[in-house]
Chains A and B, each alone.
Chain A
Amino acid sequence: MSKAFVSSGRSSLISIAVACAFCILLGRLFYLHVWHSDELLKYVEGNRKMVNVVEARRGNIVDTRGNLLATTRTSYNIGVDPQAFREQDYAKLPELARILGKPFEELEAKVNRKTRKVSEDSPEVRLIRWAVLVKDANETVHDAVKALGLRAVYGNQSHSRAYPAGQLAAHVLGYVNKEETPVTGIERFFDYYLRGQDGWRETERDGKRHELAQFREREVEPSDGLSVELSIDQMVQHIVEAEIARMAQEYSPKGISIIVSQPATGAVLAMANYPSYDPNEFYNTAKFPIANQRNRALTDVFEPGSTFKIVPAAAALNEGLVHPSDMFKTGVSRVSYKGRTLSLPSDHHIYDELSVHDIVVKSSNRGAAHLGLMLGEQRLYEYAADFGFGETTGADLGGEVSGTLHAPRNWDGLTITRMPMGHAISATPMQVHVAMSVIANDGVLMEPMLAKRIFDGSGRDVIRFKPKAKRRVISAEVANIVASMLADAVGEEGTARRAAIDNYAVAGKTGTTQKIVNGRYSNQHHVGSFSGFFPAENPALVITVVVDEPQMTGIGYGGVVAAPAFRNIAEASIAYLGIRPARSDASFVNLQPSIYDRSSRISN
């Protein structure tokens, strides 16, 4: 056996070289693990570790019967990676086009376009790794695309707010914009409860950036947002909006506001305005101008006109200054007051004298002025304030304005005779509604209630809102007397005959005011309104209708444009809510065929 000869010199050299190599290796290890360890560790951990934010889901908004009005939707932006699109996938392209509802040629072009120029002038090109095919696709479309088994076609999740009812109750709900900022309505007012709290997860990932679940270190679960249950009833809201649509078609008004509520609790069953918008398309300002987003029931003020006459009438009765049968000389146009001679406002019909009862029933401006003069500035002002004028009603929506009710020191000489007829004061439709609710609720002013409760994912109450009585304005006895006067105003002799419903005692007051245009009362621009309740003996609903500038032949009186809307809504609500007439011998079905019966008009 021969042995290889290795000279001692060479072997020493090799040994030294190997030793040096080890030294370099050790040195490099020392450099990496000790010298630069802090920096490198950070770099490595940055690549390996990740913190995933787990988004909390925004809570739902439901109506009083649990119908979904606002929810959070997962949608998909479906796209294609042209680099990963294989030859055999082309056979599935027609089916993909059918599912996505896109022309085949369009999809084919996107799939075939593999590169794009960095800029117009530059010759440099880049590979296209993602070309959007369709945006905001729903689960059904996404599942169908997934079922095709195309690896190159996939969807990226995104969350958006959805309003399944479309335009229904848009002004109440408000909306959340693309930046997930609540802009108006309940969405904004209850954002604190609705938005929830995001969670997070500290974990590690592999080279393909996939999570290594076994290395999850810390995890904080997201806390989903709470849900809000409104007092709004989807069906009543629909009845109101259908009526608004009818009125908009018939009168082409500038605006309409309608509020329906229960007087005993202040719970608002419906609140709608015209023009409106679809919160699903809030960004489409060409279709829905920004002005449509205004909740006119809370933000727009008008002179309440004759609907305000309930204030001086109730105040004078409550103060014991008059009796319903006391007579006033309404044929006289001037009176002496505190040493001055004041001219009284005129009436449409001249009445020589009217009782307090008839002042309300006939809606006499002059009679109301007499009542105002009896009360005096301070008491009239105080009662108007007590009825809720000049202050926000406290509706849970934000953006509400307080209207105008000047203190007596700022009144001019005519205000004492003009305010009792609803001039020299401005109010929102909601304020007029709340004032009428005082009469319907035995003299107690309730705060409008839009949210009934806030509940968690299991349906358990977190907060339950209770009806809130703000103050007693007039005695129950006076409220009943005024209610009976208002019931007669809806009778044959009154101004609101068109609001009458068979077998039901309806109480209410019409209002027609001229708008101020260029600093003067205009003969062409009117606001017609009606605010009332029924059954008069035991009120179940208060309904207020305000129509701004109805376009029609003649003046758009409240009794002509608003009172019929009240009746239509009341009749439909009677059938839907099962409101019984106060008289036990009366039938609640002896109504005209509802205008909401579409059986004779639509068939499908």
Chain B
Amino acid sequence: MLNLSSKARKHVAVLILAMVVVTVGSAFAIVWMQQQISRTAQSSKQFESQLADTTRKLRFLDERIAGYHQPIVLQGKIAGILRPSVEDQVVFVRERQLATGRSYAVAQPYEVSMDLALLDLNASRQ
């Protein structure tokens, strides 16, 4: 039998203990890491599915909005409210061509119809 000094025996014991601690610790760490990976993957999957849900609902809303924006629907909504403009309700403007190439509309005060300010929506249209 190998005769070891007590100091050496202690070192061996510490070494074995350290190995056991490292092994057990690593094993737990691996399990913990696996668990974390699993949790992260699950939550990613959840976010993925939430995102897909939201996108799907947004698209559904887009479709509904498109349905409400159909000319026939819009016309139905404004029926009895909007009326075609008559001559007096239109403001005439003049176009002025500038050297810069831009065009500006210049309204002359006398060309603005007073009817615009005194418009009565309840009045019957001629």
Contact = CB atoms under 8 A, between A and B. Distances in A.
Given A67-B69, A211-B45, A590-B87, A72 B59 contact: yes
A587 B41 contact: no
Interface stretch (A89-97, A113-121, A163-171, A398-406): A163-171
Given A164-B67, A235-B71, A598 B42 contact: no
A35 to B, nearest CB: 31
Interface in A209-232: 211-214, 216
Contact of B66 (A67, A138, A602, A604): A67
A364 interface: no
Contact of B63 (A73, A235, A599, A604): A73
A162 B42 contact: no
Interface residues of B, number: 36
Contacts of A599: 78-83
Contacts of B76: 598, 602, 604
Contacts of B87: 587, 589-590
Contacts of B83: 597, 599
A71 interface: yes
Contacts of A589: 85-87, 90
B3 to A, nearest CB: 36
Contacts of B44: 213
B84 A594 contact: yes
A164 B59 contact: no
Nearest to B81: A599
Contacts of A602: 76, 79-80
Contacts of B77: 604
A234 B67 CA distance: 12
Given A213-B45, A599-B80, A604-B80, A74 B69 contact: no
> What is the interface residue range for chain A against chain B?
35 or more
Given A71-B59, A589-B87, A597-B84, A216 B41 contact: yes
B56 A74 contact: yes
Contacts of B81: 599
Nearest to B40: A214
A596 interface: yes
B72 to A, nearest CB: 7
A602 B82 CA distance: 12
Contacts of A603: 79-80
Contacts of A597: 83-84
A604 B81 CA distance: 10
Contacts of B45: 211, 213
A597 B70 CA distance: 16
Interface string A159-186: 0001011101000000000000000000
A461 interface: no
A555 interface: no
Nearest to B56: A74
A68 interface: yes
Contacts of B80: 599, 602-604
Contacts of B70: 164-166, 168, 234, 238
A459 interface: no
Interface of A: 67-69, 71-74, 138-140, 162, 164-166, 168, 211-214, 216, 234-235, 238, 575, 587, 589-590, 593-594, 596-599, 601-604
Q: Which 10 A-B pairs have the closest CB atoms?
A: A68-B66, A213-B41, A238-B71, A164-B66, A214-B41, A213-B45, A603-B80, A139-B60, A602-B79, A214-B38
Interface of B: 34, 37-38, 40-42, 44-45, 56-57, 59-60, 62-63, 65-67, 69-72, 75-87, 90, 92
